[in-house]
Structures are given as C-alpha cells and as structure tokens.
Amino acid sequence: MSIALNVFQEQKDLKNKQRYSEGYRLVGKHSAVKICAYCKKAIKGQDVCYKNTFYGIESWRCVQMSPTFFCDHRCVFCWRDIEYVWPKWQGPVDDPKDIVDGCIKAHIELLQGFKGNSKVIEERLKEMGKPLHFAISLTGEPTMYPRLPEMIDYLKEKGITSFLVTNGTLPDMIEKLIDHQPTQLYISVYGSNKEMHQRTANPITKDAWEKLQQSLSMMHKFKRNVMRLTLTRGFNFMDPEGYAKLAEKYRPMFIETKGFSYVGHAQERLEVKNMPYHDEILEFAKKIEENSSYKVIDSKAESKVALLVREDFEGRKMDFEGL
C-alpha cells in the first residue's frame, strides 16, 4: 500500500471513531446510518419531519443513511465534519444488498431503547421495525457510490421508497439513474449563479457549477424531482429573482427553500446570525413566486422550509397505507 493510501486510511479510521461517538453507525466499509431527531420525535408522537408534512413520508419508518462518506464539496453550512473529504472513490465497493440490509439492521438496533419508553405510540413502535423509506442524504455525496442504481432497484424490490439528495456534480450517474429512478430526486442548488455557488458550496472540483447545470437539465426526466435551496445568510440568501430564473429554465416539479440551521460542525464555521428565520424563508419563497410560475403551497416552521409548485396535485402526499 502506498504512503498516500496509508495516510488516507489513518484519516478515515480517525474520523470513523469520531462519527461513532456522534451517533453514526458504520455499515460495511463505506456506508453509514444515523437516527434522525424527527424519527425519535415521531415515535413519541411529538412531531414529524417536513418530508412527512409535504410528501406523506412516515418519519418513524424512515432510515437516514448514505452509501458513502466521500464528497467533492465543503459546503459552509454543512452540519457534518468537512475537514475529511475525498473527491474521488477510494478502496473497495460494497454490495448494494449488504448496504441496504445492513442499514436497516443498524437502524432498528439504534431504536431498541424506545421499547422501554413510556411516551411511545405503541403502533409506531411496532412499525419502526419495518422501515418504508430511505432518506439517502446523511453525509457525503451518494452519487459517488458506483453501484447506486442497483441499490435503488433493491430498495424497490423490498417495497421501500427512496429520496436521493445530490449536489449534481456527477451528471453521468444522474443519467444512469433515469432508468433506475429513486422515488424522488433532490438536486441541491447552492447559489443563483456560479460565484454564489462557489462561495457557498466550496467545491473541490473546478467545474462543479457546469456539472450542476448538466444534472439540472436532466431533472425533468425523473417522475418526482426537487430543486432544493439551503439558504445561508451572507452566502446565498439573496437574489430570489435569480433562483426563479433557474426554476423557469429547468422546471422542477418542486422547489424547497430551506434555511440553514446552526447545528453540528457548522457552528465551527458560521455564526447564529447566518441562520435565517422561518418568516424570512417564507418571504424569500414568495419573492420566487412573484418572479416565476411557482406558488408557495406549504411550509413547516420547525424546519424553516417552504414548498413551491406550479400547480398542486393529488398524489403529492404519497399513500403508504397497506405497505
């Protein structure tokens, strides 16, 4: 093994220990799962994730995971530790079935403590052991996983829906996924123009903005798709007219405007003042509405997020009854 690979492995082992202490559970050689705060709240009937509010996803049956820690962005608002990033795949590639089954097993094990909690809703306690949804958005850039199309197909075989969040810098993988579609594809947009995107996403790859445009141009080929804006004051929380132009150009099914949250490792890079309030996010979304064919139709204050569509439709909130 080369010196470079030895150093890479040492860094990886060190970060993996840190992640374990932060609540992550490693699955195989390069995947991870972590229990979302809304999953815990939902089991106790306290609250649900905005994906439940907007699309019907049952938060207590949702596995938050990623098939890789590798990433080619160092977004200023990221709540993960961005000191350890690797823009290209390194090492072995685990089997998609092992990843999915391993994540479900780890997810259920992490929730075992709720069986002794008097505040849980009994029906949800039973259902949490049979996940219906994968949020492929925990950490890293999931489209870097070479066998992602197979993983999506295996989730479908198991009757599990999937929301895949990508930064759009690997359009070749996006193109492959057209024939292996996740239930809903999210493409994150970190600025209304290249300069703003570079400042906010801090990409390692020089042509990240151009690659993003390629991915956005294929978004309409996915049955359910979202243009996602994570808005951070002082970086990309500006120019709603520019975001409106991007929306009109690429015509996503949904637009989500979501405010940065001052949590995790983001506290090491930013300040509380960088965090927009929910009413400001709503105002920003309404400015996009004023400059486009999209309308604000829903929001969730706890998550500081608003949802825009051109026209609402039956089936936006998916029906999971009987699954």
Provide the percentage of residues in the chain whose pLDDT is more than 70. 89
pLDDT over 70 at 35, yes or no: yes
Model confidence pLDDT, tens digit, residues 89-110 = 888 999 999 999 999 999 999 9
Q: How many domains does the chain divide into?
A: 1
**pLDDT (0 to 100) of residue 1:** 46
Q: Residue 143 falls within a domain, yes or no?
A: yes
Closest CA to 173 of 208, 134, 227, 218: 218
Tell me the average pLDDT of the chain.
Answer: 89
Stretch 13-38: mean pLDDT? 75
**pLDDT (0 to 100) of residue 108:** 93
Distance CA 180, CA 221 (A): 11
Q: Residue 13 falls within a domain, yes or no?
A: no
Model confidence pLDDT, tens digit, residues 207-219 = 999 999 999 999 9
Q: Residue 239 falls within a domain, yes or no?
A: yes
Q: Residue 181 falls within a domain, yes or no?
A: yes
**pLDDT (0 to 100) of residue 115:** 83
Model confidence pLDDT, tens digit, residues 289-299 = 999 999 999 99
Confidence of residue 8 (pLDDT cuts 50, 70, 90): very low
Q: Residue 299 falls within a domain, yes or no?
A: yes
**pLDDT (0 to 100) of residue 7:** 40
Contact (CB, 8 A) for 158 and 87: no
Q: Residue 261 falls within a domain, yes or no?
A: yes
Domain of 49: which CATH number?
A: 3.20.20.70
User: What pTM value is reported for the model?
Assistant: 0.90
Look up the domain containing 215 and give its range. Answer: 23-309
**pLDDT (0 to 100) of residue 308:** 98
Model confidence pLDDT, tens digit, residues 299-317 = 999 999 999 999 999 999 9
**pLDDT (0 to 100) of residue 244:** 98
* Burial class for 109, CB neighbours closer than 10 Å (0-12, 13-18, 19+): exposed
Model confidence pLDDT, tens digit, residues 155-190 = 999 999 999 999 999 999 999 999 999 999 999 999
Q: Residue 3 falls within a domain, yes or no?
A: no
Stretch 234-256: mean pLDDT? 98
Q: Which of 9-18, 83-92, 246-255 has the lowest mean pLDDT?
A: 9-18
Q: Residue 8 falls within a domain, yes or no?
A: no
Confidence of residue 272 (pLDDT cuts 50, 70, 90): confident
